[in-house]
Chains A and B, each alone.
Chain A
Amino acid sequence: MSEREPTRDELLAMAYADGELAPAERAGFEARLALEPELAREVSELRRLELLARHAAPPEPMDHEWGRLARSAGQRGLRGAGALFLGAALLGLAAWALACLEFSHASWVPKVLVPLAILGSLLLVGAAVRARARTLRYDPYRDVKR
């Protein structure tokens, strides 16, 4: 256990996570959260702890087995290889479709629109992944088991 006294910001974050701030203080703190990622991470961590305490019930034997399986190299290898092959096949299919279109006698309309649709889809997926990656560390709910 740390001997260090909590800083004012840490105390504020605890009070905010526990819903103990007055409305004016809460509004001011929320404005800071939008600007200070480190503070937002602190609040997220406190909420994660609260969730953990709420789920302090002993895990069922099946949960232990799921956890053991998820950590095992064999299971991870199987899943990783499956995802890799599936991803490679999907990318390959998209490339093959583009190549077929390129050498076909189709008019210029599908030749422009199909690559545009593929590019658009990839950009949208990229934007969604980027948004999730940015917010993932502030999401205290992603490890809730039961």
Chain B
Amino acid sequence: MILTTTECVPGREIRETLGLVRGSTVRAAHAGTDVQAWLKNLVGGEIEEYTKLLAEAREQALDRLTAEARARGADAVVGLHFSSCEIATGAAEFLVYGTAVKLVPRSS
């Protein structure tokens, strides 16, 4: 499955547009993580616990998007966008969306 933020795939042309596909997840850090993150706020630097939380959310959302695109019989998802927001303290929503397409080799 090709996932790309561009509108087209080099060497291929879009034969069919299958529609919007998306994957989202809301993941929370446990309370202990919030305490550690608060303590790191005092000393500065990367808050690794929250980096990890967002990375987990991003991968899960991407996998859900890929599963939906596969279920529709897509070869690729183009115009991929990522978006995230804080839905509650210590919980992040990660949304990834794009357009599922069927590709064919570009006719020269």
User: A residues engaging B (CB < 8 A)?
Assistant: 19, 23, 47, 51, 54, 62, 66, 79, 83, 86, 141-142, 144-146
Residues from chain A with Cβ under 8 Å of B48 in the complex: 66
The contact size tier of chain B is: 20 to 34
Chain B residues within 8 Å of A47, by CB: 63
Whether A83 and B32, one on each chain, are in contact in the complex, defined by CB atoms closer than 8 angstroms, is yes
For chains A and B in complex, what number of residue pairs have CB atoms within 8 angstroms? 31
Question: Given contacts A141-B27, A141-B60, are A146 and B55 in contact (CB under 8 A)?
Answer: yes
The residue on B at minimum CB distance from A54 is B59
User: Does B70 contact A141, Cβ atoms closer than 8 Å?
Assistant: no
Known: A62-B46, A66-B48, A83-B32. A144 touches B55 (CB 8 A): yes
B51 within 8 A of A: yes
Q: Does B52 lie at the interface of the complex (its beta carbon under 8 Å from any beta carbon of A)?
A: yes
A42 to chain B, nearest CB (A): 17
Is B24 an interface residue, CB under 8 A from the partner?
no
